[in-house]
Amino acid sequence: MVLSIINHPFKYETENVLRIFFPLEKITVTEEYPASDENSAVTVRAFSDGGCIMSCEVKIGAKTVKKEKYVNGAADGDAELALAQSLYDCLVSLTGTVPSWGVLTGVRPSKLMRSLISSGGGDYAKRYFTDKLYVNKEKTELAFAVSKAEDKIISLSRNNSYSLYVSIPFCPTRCSYCSFVSHSVAHAKKLIPDYVRLLCEELREFSEIANNLGLHLETIYFGGGTPTSLGEEDLKTVTDAVKKYFDVSSAREYTIEAGRPDTLNPEKLKIMKSAGVTRISINPQTFNNDVLKNIGRNHTAEMIYKAFGEARNEGFDNINMDFIAGLPGDTFGSFCESIEKAVALSPENITVHTLALKRAANIVTGKRTHEVKNETAEMLSYSSDALYKNGYFPYYMYRQSKSVGNNENVGWCRNEKECLYNIYMMEEIHTVFAAGGGAVTKLKSPFENKIERIFNFKYPYEYIERFDILKDRKKRIYEFYKEIGMI
């Protein structure tokens, strides 16, 4: 597919709209008109009478559709939206597909919803979603509900708040759909002692910076990877370092992702409990053993029950379970059964993800993409109804590019057990200091929408070999806080 950009700067938006309809196709962007036999989308801005005409002509095979919109004035925001709408209209008309999120391509719909509510109120925000962005009613209500749930949590964050992220990029085996930098424990065994030692050193550096800046720790989150794929001793070393360098007791929440049940045992649960961990994740993804095998996870549904029971016995009263809609080999019926089984276990959080298509492309077999899309959309609708019915409400959400059917990932909770970190991180509310391989520290000004990122090295071996460079990069944290007037 060729995307022609004629006389406008909206390459990013038009390409993203095109990707909603053709997520896996190669898109060649050019400032020329395409050859007449190519599948193409020609997007043009033509100035006229103090405004401009934003037009699109899309050709797929023998069919061509053209749409245009006139924009009064020359504001880039209006012109960009009009062009996205015209392109979207052409693509709906040619493909017959009506995406549930309309032209909305951003990863944080609830953040946009909140900003629209604050500028024009709830009705205005919802109308903007449905009338301008063409988001359907169900997704508009979802984004609205999430933005309202987030308000309460966001209001807890103060000017000097920050969260701490600890990256453990190791897993027992690699899931077939994984898009993270995660190494199997067996493969990375040699690296783990040095990794753990330097991670503890980085935690010390962050605690020193936080103290010097007078920052207050709100939440701690261990992610990865699967943090509990560390052995007992290493897990204890890292959690001891957190306890030594940070005031864990004053943090509102301390989460460790114990994602894979095959990495859990009563001893690790005890280590986490005595370290002050308040929330863990035990992620089935599905309760169907055949699907678990398909996706390369080395555990069974029975092991999930066992790990869950042991965690409850150890006193964990805030447990999350992740599921994925659209897994290879899963069916609507088996997905629904998984959600029902999860609800019966009654975890405080259930997170429902949509499979990312970049991986699905390699592993979805036997079904055409549109069938997978429709089935995944039905799975999400089912989980939404079932979870509402059972007292869960949506409290956080995000979208990934190239997820099946361009759908969303939603965190559900009950008994006021929202995961605070998820909201602070996804909505970019305050600074997150992130330690470990692949971690990204995000500096956020409490006074304006100023955000800056500091990247750690992606792979554990690089993190180990080039650790000293990271120390140097942290100097930027002081400069940032100086620039925003906090020192």
* Residues at the site binding ligand SF4, with contacts judged by CB under 6 A: 171, 174-175, 178, 180, 182, 224-226, 259-260
In the chain, the amino acid numbered 443 is: L
Q: How crowded is residue 5: how many other Cβ atoms within 10 Å of its Cβ?
A: 20
Dist. CA 285–CA 323, nearest whole Å? 4
Beta bridge partners of 163: 219, 432
- Let me know: does 357 contact 404? Beta carbons within 8 Å: yes
C-beta of 86 vs 281, nearer to ligand SF4 = 281
C-beta of 101 vs 463, nearer to ligand SF4 = 463
C-beta of 94 vs 178, nearer to ligand SF4 = 178
C-beta of 357 vs 443, nearer to ligand SF4 = 357
C-beta of 60 vs 363, nearer to ligand SF4 = 363
C-beta of 243 vs 402, nearer to ligand SF4 = 402
Q: Sign of torsion, CA 178 181 184 185?
A: negative
C-beta of 9 vs 296, nearer to ligand SF4 = 296
Is 347 exposed, middle or buried (CB count within 10 Å of its CB: 0-12, 13-18, 19+)? buried
Q: Containing H/E element for 409? A: strand 408-413
- Let me know: does 165 contact 223? Beta carbons within 8 Å: yes
Angle at 388 between CA 385 and CA 280, to 5 degrees: 115
- Pinpoint the alpha helices (H) of 390-473: 420-426, 460-465, 467-473
Q: Sign of torsion, CA 169 171 173 174?
A: negative
What's phi and psi for 22, nearest 5 deg? -130, 65
C-beta of 226 vs 351, nearer to ligand SF4 = 226
Q: Which of 230, 257, 222, 229 is nearest to 173 (CA)?
A: 229
CA within 13 Å, CB half, 201:
13
- Let me know: does 392 contact 350? Beta carbons within 8 Å: yes
C-beta of 95 vs 176, nearer to ligand SF4 = 176
- Locus of tokens 């549109």: 370
Output the smallest distance, CB 166 to ligand SF4, in A.
14
Output the smallest distance, CB 176 to ligand SF4, in A.
9
C-beta of 252 vs 359, nearer to ligand SF4 = 359
Output the smallest distance, CB 175 to ligand SF4, in A.
3
Output the smallest distance, CB 306 to ligand SF4, in A.
18
Output the smallest distance, CB 322 to ligand SF4, in A.
9
Output the smallest distance, CB 261 to ligand SF4, in A.
11
C-beta of 114 vs 299, nearer to ligand SF4 = 299
Question: Which 3 state secondary structure label does DSSP give 302?
Answer: helix
- Let me know: does 412 contact 395? Beta carbons within 8 Å: yes
Output the smallest distance, CB 177 to ligand SF4, in A.
6
Dist. CA 312–CA 321, nearest whole Å? 13
Token code pair at residue 130: 């449905």
C-beta of 53 vs 178, nearer to ligand SF4 = 178
Question: Which 3 state secondary structure label does DSSP give 408?
Answer: strand
Output the smallest distance, CB 463 to ligand SF4, in A.
16
- Let me know: does 330 contact 288? Beta carbons within 8 Å: yes
Token code pair at residue 20: 């909603």
Token code pair at residue 446: 């409490």
Question: Looking at beta carbons, which residue is closest to ligand SF4?
Answer: 178
Output the smallest distance, CB 182 to ligand SF4, in A.
4
Cis peptide before 77 (omega within 30 of 0): no
Question: Which 3 state secondary structure label does DSSP give 57?
Answer: strand
Output the smallest distance, CB 327 to ligand SF4, in A.
11
Output the smallest distance, CB 297 to ligand SF4, in A.
7
Output the smallest distance, CB 419 to ligand SF4, in A.
17
Dist. CA 466–CA 471, nearest whole Å? 10
